[in-house]
Chain A
Amino acid sequence: MSFKTAREGYVRYQGLGNWAFVLHRLAGLGVILFLIIHVADTALVYFKPEWYAHAVELYRLPIFGLGEILLMLALIYHGLNGLRIIYFDMINPDMWTIEVNRKSVIWTWAAALILWLPAAWIMATHILSHMGS
Protein backbone atom coordinates (compact mmCIF):
# COMPACT_ATOMS: atom_id res chain seq x y z
CA MET A 1 0.00 0.00 0.00
CA SER A 2 2.75 2.40 0.90
CA PHE A 3 4.54 1.54 -2.34
CA LYS A 4 1.45 2.44 -4.34
CA THR A 5 1.12 5.81 -2.67
CA ALA A 6 4.71 6.75 -3.40
CA ARG A 7 4.51 5.55 -6.97
CA GLU A 8 1.39 7.56 -7.70
CA GLY A 9 3.16 10.54 -6.23
CA TYR A 10 5.91 10.13 -8.81
CA VAL A 11 3.46 9.86 -11.70
CA ARG A 12 1.17 12.73 -10.81
CA TYR A 13 3.83 15.39 -10.50
CA GLN A 14 5.56 15.24 -13.84
CA GLY A 15 7.77 18.31 -13.79
CA LEU A 16 11.31 18.13 -15.11
CA GLY A 17 12.58 18.47 -11.58
CA ASN A 18 10.77 15.30 -10.67
CA TRP A 19 12.34 13.45 -13.59
CA ALA A 20 15.72 14.70 -12.41
CA PHE A 21 14.90 13.25 -8.99
CA VAL A 22 13.75 9.85 -10.31
CA LEU A 23 16.75 9.54 -12.65
CA HIS A 24 19.08 10.61 -9.84
CA ARG A 25 17.81 7.74 -7.72
CA LEU A 26 17.88 5.16 -10.51
CA ALA A 27 21.41 6.21 -11.50
CA GLY A 28 22.55 6.12 -7.88
CA LEU A 29 21.08 2.66 -7.32
CA GLY A 30 22.75 1.41 -10.50
CA VAL A 31 26.11 2.78 -9.40
CA ILE A 32 25.95 1.32 -5.87
CA LEU A 33 24.90 -2.07 -7.25
CA PHE A 34 27.94 -2.09 -9.51
CA LEU A 35 30.11 -0.75 -6.70
CA ILE A 36 29.28 -3.71 -4.44
CA ILE A 37 30.27 -6.13 -7.22
CA HIS A 38 33.32 -4.05 -8.10
CA VAL A 39 34.73 -3.95 -4.54
CA ALA A 40 33.96 -7.64 -4.04
CA ASP A 41 35.88 -8.67 -7.16
CA THR A 42 38.77 -6.20 -6.94
CA ALA A 43 39.44 -7.42 -3.38
CA LEU A 44 40.08 -10.85 -4.93
CA VAL A 45 43.57 -9.62 -5.89
CA TYR A 46 44.34 -10.18 -2.21
CA PHE A 47 41.90 -12.88 -1.11
CA LYS A 48 41.88 -15.12 -4.21
CA PRO A 49 44.27 -13.87 -6.94
CA GLU A 50 43.52 -16.77 -9.30
CA TRP A 51 39.84 -15.76 -9.40
CA TYR A 52 40.64 -12.12 -10.16
CA ALA A 53 41.74 -12.89 -13.71
CA HIS A 54 38.41 -14.61 -14.28
CA ALA A 55 36.50 -11.57 -13.00
CA VAL A 56 38.42 -9.29 -15.35
CA GLU A 57 37.69 -11.68 -18.24
CA LEU A 58 33.98 -11.09 -17.64
CA TYR A 59 34.42 -7.32 -17.66
CA ARG A 60 36.11 -7.60 -21.06
CA LEU A 61 33.02 -9.13 -22.67
CA PRO A 62 31.41 -6.62 -25.08
CA ILE A 63 28.10 -6.78 -23.18
CA PHE A 64 29.86 -5.66 -20.01
CA GLY A 65 31.68 -3.00 -22.02
CA LEU A 66 28.31 -1.65 -23.10
CA GLY A 67 27.19 -1.74 -19.47
CA GLU A 68 30.34 0.17 -18.50
CA ILE A 69 29.50 2.92 -21.00
CA LEU A 70 25.96 3.21 -19.61
CA LEU A 71 27.33 3.17 -16.08
CA MET A 72 29.54 6.11 -17.03
CA LEU A 73 26.46 8.08 -18.08
CA ALA A 74 24.72 7.17 -14.83
CA LEU A 75 27.72 8.27 -12.79
CA ILE A 76 28.25 11.54 -14.68
CA TYR A 77 24.57 12.44 -14.44
CA HIS A 78 24.33 11.50 -10.77
CA GLY A 79 27.46 13.51 -10.00
CA LEU A 80 26.45 16.66 -11.89
CA ASN A 81 22.88 16.59 -10.65
CA GLY A 82 24.21 15.99 -7.15
CA LEU A 83 26.45 19.06 -7.39
CA ARG A 84 23.42 21.03 -8.62
CA ILE A 85 21.40 19.92 -5.60
CA ILE A 86 24.29 20.71 -3.24
CA TYR A 87 24.63 24.18 -4.72
CA PHE A 88 20.91 24.86 -4.31
CA ASP A 89 20.71 23.39 -0.81
CA MET A 90 23.89 24.70 0.75
CA ILE A 91 24.68 27.93 -1.09
CA ASN A 92 21.65 29.39 -2.80
CA PRO A 93 18.30 27.95 -1.60
CA ASP A 94 16.45 30.77 -3.40
CA MET A 95 17.05 28.82 -6.59
CA TRP A 96 14.56 26.14 -5.51
CA THR A 97 11.78 27.49 -7.72
CA ILE A 98 10.03 25.53 -10.45
CA GLU A 99 11.35 27.79 -13.20
CA VAL A 100 15.00 27.94 -12.09
CA ASN A 101 14.92 24.25 -11.27
CA ARG A 102 13.62 23.34 -14.72
CA LYS A 103 16.28 25.38 -16.52
CA SER A 104 19.07 24.00 -14.35
CA VAL A 105 17.86 20.44 -15.00
CA ILE A 106 18.10 21.00 -18.76
CA TRP A 107 21.61 22.44 -18.35
CA THR A 108 22.58 19.47 -16.21
CA TRP A 109 21.41 17.00 -18.85
CA ALA A 110 23.25 18.92 -21.55
CA ALA A 111 26.47 19.02 -19.51
CA ALA A 112 26.19 15.31 -18.69
CA LEU A 113 25.88 14.43 -22.38
CA ILE A 114 28.80 16.70 -23.32
CA LEU A 115 31.05 15.02 -20.75
CA TRP A 116 29.78 11.53 -21.52
CA LEU A 117 30.03 11.51 -25.33
CA PRO A 118 33.85 11.71 -25.61
CA ALA A 119 34.25 9.17 -22.80
CA ALA A 120 31.74 6.85 -24.47
CA TRP A 121 33.52 7.28 -27.79
CA ILE A 122 36.92 6.32 -26.33
CA MET A 123 35.46 3.36 -24.42
CA ALA A 124 33.60 2.13 -27.51
CA THR A 125 36.85 2.36 -29.48
CA HIS A 126 38.54 0.16 -26.85
CA ILE A 127 35.77 -2.42 -27.09
CA LEU A 128 35.74 -2.49 -30.90
CA SER A 129 39.52 -2.80 -31.16
CA HIS A 130 39.43 -5.87 -28.89
CA MET A 131 36.45 -7.60 -30.50
CA GLY A 132 37.31 -11.07 -31.66
CA SER A 133 40.79 -11.02 -30.22
Chain B
Amino acid sequence: MTTQSKSVNVPQSWESFAWKWMRYSGVVLAILAGVHVLIQDVLVGVYEIDINYVAGRWHGGFWRVYDFLLLFFAFSHGMNGVRQVLSDFIHSDGGRRTLNWILFIVWAAITVWGTVAIFAFTPPAS
Protein backbone atom coordinates (compact mmCIF):
# COMPACT_ATOMS: atom_id res chain seq x y z
CA MET B 1 0.00 0.00 0.00
CA THR B 2 1.42 3.33 -0.94
CA THR B 3 0.49 6.70 0.30
CA GLN B 4 1.10 9.98 -1.37
CA SER B 5 1.29 13.28 0.33
CA LYS B 6 -0.29 16.27 -1.26
CA SER B 7 0.04 19.91 -0.48
CA VAL B 8 -2.96 21.72 0.86
CA ASN B 9 -3.23 25.41 1.45
CA VAL B 10 -3.76 26.21 5.08
CA PRO B 11 -4.89 29.78 5.66
CA GLN B 12 -2.40 31.85 7.62
CA SER B 13 -3.59 32.25 11.16
CA TRP B 14 -2.27 32.30 14.71
CA GLU B 15 -2.99 28.58 14.91
CA SER B 16 -0.99 27.70 11.79
CA PHE B 17 1.82 29.90 13.13
CA ALA B 18 1.67 28.07 16.47
CA TRP B 19 1.77 24.71 14.68
CA LYS B 20 4.92 25.70 12.80
CA TRP B 21 6.42 27.29 15.89
CA MET B 22 6.27 23.95 17.71
CA ARG B 23 8.32 22.34 14.92
CA TYR B 24 10.94 25.07 14.49
CA SER B 25 11.41 25.65 18.20
CA GLY B 26 11.51 21.87 18.68
CA VAL B 27 14.62 21.59 16.50
CA VAL B 28 16.29 24.48 18.33
CA LEU B 29 15.38 22.99 21.71
CA ALA B 30 16.74 19.56 20.84
CA ILE B 31 20.15 21.26 20.76
CA LEU B 32 19.75 23.92 23.47
CA ALA B 33 17.99 21.71 26.02
CA GLY B 34 20.10 18.66 25.15
CA VAL B 35 23.36 20.49 25.85
CA HIS B 36 21.87 22.09 28.98
CA VAL B 37 20.83 18.84 30.66
CA LEU B 38 23.98 17.04 29.53
CA ILE B 39 26.14 19.63 31.29
CA GLN B 40 24.01 20.53 34.32
CA ASP B 41 22.36 17.23 35.21
CA VAL B 42 24.82 14.60 34.01
CA LEU B 43 28.34 16.07 33.91
CA VAL B 44 28.09 18.63 36.74
CA GLY B 45 25.16 17.45 38.82
CA VAL B 46 23.10 19.25 41.43
CA TYR B 47 25.61 18.52 44.21
CA GLU B 48 28.14 20.86 42.60
CA ILE B 49 25.61 23.63 41.95
CA ASP B 50 25.24 26.58 44.29
CA ILE B 51 25.13 30.34 43.95
CA ASN B 52 28.89 30.51 43.36
CA TYR B 53 28.56 28.04 40.53
CA VAL B 54 25.85 30.20 38.98
CA ALA B 55 28.03 33.29 39.45
CA GLY B 56 30.89 31.60 37.63
CA ARG B 57 28.63 30.41 34.86
CA TRP B 58 27.07 33.83 34.36
CA HIS B 59 30.40 35.64 34.60
CA GLY B 60 30.48 36.29 30.88
CA GLY B 61 27.76 36.99 28.40
CA PHE B 62 27.74 33.70 26.50
CA TRP B 63 25.89 31.52 29.00
CA ARG B 64 23.53 34.36 29.93
CA VAL B 65 22.45 34.66 26.30
CA TYR B 66 22.35 30.87 26.00
CA ASP B 67 20.15 30.55 29.09
CA PHE B 68 17.91 33.36 27.88
CA LEU B 69 17.41 31.64 24.51
CA LEU B 70 16.72 28.36 26.27
CA LEU B 71 14.20 30.06 28.55
CA PHE B 72 12.49 31.80 25.65
CA PHE B 73 12.26 28.79 23.35
CA ALA B 74 11.47 26.24 26.06
CA PHE B 75 8.74 28.34 27.61
CA SER B 76 7.03 29.39 24.43
CA HIS B 77 7.17 25.78 23.22
CA GLY B 78 5.99 24.36 26.53
CA MET B 79 3.18 26.80 27.26
CA ASN B 80 1.89 26.43 23.71
CA GLY B 81 1.98 22.68 24.25
CA VAL B 82 -0.12 23.06 27.40
CA ARG B 83 -2.49 25.23 25.38
CA GLN B 84 -2.81 22.57 22.68
CA VAL B 85 -3.47 19.81 25.21
CA LEU B 86 -6.08 21.82 27.12
CA SER B 87 -7.72 22.93 23.86
CA ASP B 88 -8.57 19.29 23.25
CA PHE B 89 -10.69 19.33 26.39
CA ILE B 90 -12.13 22.86 26.24
CA HIS B 91 -14.40 23.21 23.23
CA SER B 92 -16.19 26.53 23.59
CA ASP B 93 -14.75 29.63 21.94
CA GLY B 94 -15.10 31.59 25.15
CA GLY B 95 -13.37 28.89 27.17
CA ARG B 96 -10.47 28.73 24.73
CA ARG B 97 -10.14 32.51 24.69
CA THR B 98 -9.97 32.54 28.48
CA LEU B 99 -7.44 29.70 28.40
CA ASN B 100 -5.28 31.54 25.87
CA TRP B 101 -5.21 34.68 27.98
CA ILE B 102 -4.43 32.85 31.24
CA LEU B 103 -1.58 30.89 29.63
CA PHE B 104 -0.29 34.01 27.88
CA ILE B 105 -0.10 35.88 31.19
CA VAL B 106 1.60 32.95 32.94
CA TRP B 107 4.04 32.63 30.02
CA ALA B 108 4.86 36.36 30.04
CA ALA B 109 5.23 36.52 33.83
CA ILE B 110 7.63 33.58 34.07
CA THR B 111 9.63 34.63 31.02
CA VAL B 112 10.11 38.14 32.43
CA TRP B 113 10.92 36.74 35.91
CA GLY B 114 13.64 34.50 34.49
CA THR B 115 15.00 37.04 32.01
CA VAL B 116 15.41 39.74 34.66
CA ALA B 117 17.30 37.27 36.86
CA ILE B 118 19.61 36.18 34.02
CA PHE B 119 20.67 39.69 33.02
CA ALA B 120 20.44 41.62 36.31
CA PHE B 121 22.31 39.07 38.44
CA THR B 122 25.60 40.20 39.90
CA PRO B 123 27.76 37.85 41.99
CA PRO B 124 27.25 38.28 45.73
CA ALA B 125 30.08 40.12 47.48
CA SER B 126 31.74 37.50 49.65
Contact = CB atoms under 8 A, between A and B. Distances in A.
Interface of A: 2-3, 6, 25, 28-29, 31-32, 35-36, 39-40, 42-47, 49, 52-53, 56, 59-60, 65, 68, 72, 75, 79, 82-83, 85-86, 89-90, 93-94, 96-97, 119, 122-123, 126, 130
Determine the main DSSP class of B at the interface with A. helix
Interface string B84-120: 0100111100000000000000000010011011001
B65 interface: no
B121 A46 contact: yes
B50 A56 contact: yes
Nearest to B58: A45
A130 B116 contact: no
Given A2-B89, A79-B34, A56 B117 contact: no
- What are the 6 closest A-B residue pairs judged by CB atoms, nearest first? A43-B117, A32-B78, A93-B5, A46-B117, A39-B114, A46-B121
